[in-house]
Amino acid sequence: MHMADALLSPAVGAAFWLVSGTTLAWSAHRLKSSERDDLVPLMGVLGAFVFAAQMINFSIPGTGSSGHMVGGLLLSILLGSPAALIVIASVLTVQSLFFADGGLLALGANLFNMGVMSCLVAYPLIYRTLMPRSGVLPSARRMAWAAVITSVVGLQLGALGVVLQTQLSGISSLPLGAFLWLMQPIHLAIGLGEGLATAALLVFIRQARPDLLMSGAAIGAARASKAVAAGFGAAAVVVAGALSWFASSQPDGLEWSIEHVTGQTQVVNNASDLHQRLSNWQTATALFKDYTLNFQEKSAASPGESSITSSKSIAEPAWPAVDAGTSLAGVVGGLLTLCLVWAVAYWLRRRVARVK
């Protein structure tokens, strides 16, 4: 669901930077007031894990499309909504800057669709409502059903956000009716896939460390040991370094919808000076474009074109796509995410310490 810059006008892109920035400021304020000593280390390794998990697109049978985990619900359950939103923002920032996955102008909109809708809307209104009150460990069945329902709602809201944002931007090649009737059903299927994956992880965590799931808002996670963080860190390395080879090469739900509406892999938009500047900046920073090493000369796509942004949709490579470059890019991306999360979170906590 990573939007390219060409899908947004400068005004709409800036507006969602403001909206998402405001929610991040609120989240940062809440994080500063948290008394959990383990929160910062856990945020970092979970950020690396979510980055790695987003590399694995799973095929949607019978559609020719694919999807991937967003991770906002899992993060919210284990960390709480404020910390989860900061982690998702870090993941999206690393993806946009170093992997050209999602535009820089569209970063605010992407955070709104994949972070705010999941962490601050679906999680508190759906998942926590379906869970027992504080101090009661939910049953595995109830937790799984709640995860699936919440994931579907979160993805549906995010997909609707993409459609409305393109309409507000005046993208005439993506008419409201046609785009909506493709985006919502395909993201319903993706939401079911994410929900099942999240449910499986939660059931495993319930068996291994039930204290992480106590009290709904992850209060029990304050007792998480170093072994838990190490486990998620190791999982991130394995997923990014090896399981990423098994990702589907089919276009994701947004790319698939664009192609079926327009009949082509690009949406042409009138590029502004801002689009051009941001495109040049992203081209300069995207060292791992398409999630592989980039030693060849870079060529920037026209900022007025929104292409099928994932390299997986361009060709039909061998499967599994064993590639040391992809493995290295994934591991480096996870480390970058971990470092960014830690830098932001430690900076916020140090400011609180100085005030005290």
CATH of the domain at 22: 1.10.1760.20
Calpha distance 296→92 (Å, rounded): 24
* 312/268: higher pLDDT: 268
Residues 48/334, Cβ–Cβ less than 8 Å: yes
Nearest CA to 260 out of 268, 271, 251, 247 is that of 251
Looking at 36-40, 128-132, 139-143, which range is the least confident one?
36-40
Would the pLDDT of 203 be above 90?
A: yes
Q: Which two tokens stand for residue 26?
A: 């609120």
pLDDT at 217: 40
* 290/126: higher pLDDT: 126
pLDDT at 309: 45
Please indicate, yes or no, if residue 224 is contained in any of the structural domains.
yes
- Is the Cα torsion angle 151, 153, 156, 162 positive or negative in sign? negative
Please indicate, yes or no, if residue 209 is contained in any of the structural domains.
yes
* 2/310: higher pLDDT: 2
Please indicate, yes or no, if residue 304 is contained in any of the structural domains.
no
Would the pLDDT of 211 be above 50?
A: yes
Please indicate, yes or no, if residue 213 is contained in any of the structural domains.
yes
Would the pLDDT of 247 be above 50?
A: yes
Return the SS3 of 318: coil
Calpha distance 50→55 (Å, rounded): 9
Domains contained in the chain, number: 1
Residues 3/254, Cβ–Cβ less than 8 Å: yes
pLDDT at 209: 82
Please indicate, yes or no, if residue 203 is contained in any of the structural domains.
yes
Please indicate, yes or no, if residue 245 is contained in any of the structural domains.
yes
pLDDT at 347: 84
Per-residue model confidence as pLDDT tens digits over 50-86: 999 999 999 999 999 999 999 999 999 999 999 999 9
* Ranges of H-type helices in the chain: 10-32, 39-54, 72-79, 81-99, 107-111, 128-130, 140-168, 176-208, 226-241, 253-262, 273-285, 324-355
Return the SS3 of 310: coil
The two most distant CA atoms of the chain are separated, in Å, by: 59
pLDDT at 228: 78
* 40/25: higher pLDDT: 25
Please indicate, yes or no, if residue 170 is contained in any of the structural domains.
yes
**What is the pLDDT confidence band of residue 219, given thresholds at 50, 70 and 90?**
very low
pLDDT at 352: 53
Beta strand pairing status for 305-307 and 266-268? Answer: antiparallel
Residue 94 domain boundaries: 5-268+283-296+320-355
Would the pLDDT of 242 be above 70?
A: yes
Residues in the chain: 356
Would the pLDDT of 35 be above 70?
A: no
* 294/70: higher pLDDT: 70
Q: Which two tokens stand for residue 244?
A: 């990423």
> What mean pLDDT comes out for the span 218-222?
43
Per-residue model confidence as pLDDT tens digits over 295-331: 544 444 555 555 444 444 444 566 677 788 889 999 9
> What mean pLDDT comes out for the span 220-232?
66
pLDDT at 312: 43
Please indicate, yes or no, if residue 309 is contained in any of the structural domains.
no
> What mean pLDDT comes out for the span 219-245?
77
What is the phi/psi pair of residue 304, to 5°? Answer: -90, 10
Looking at 209-213, 233-237, 238-242, 264-268, which range is the least confident one?
264-268
What is the phi/psi pair of residue 34, to 5°? Answer: -70, 140
pLDDT at 58: 93
Per-residue model confidence as pLDDT tens digits over 3-20: 999 999 999 999 999 999
Calpha distance 55→28 (Å, rounded): 27
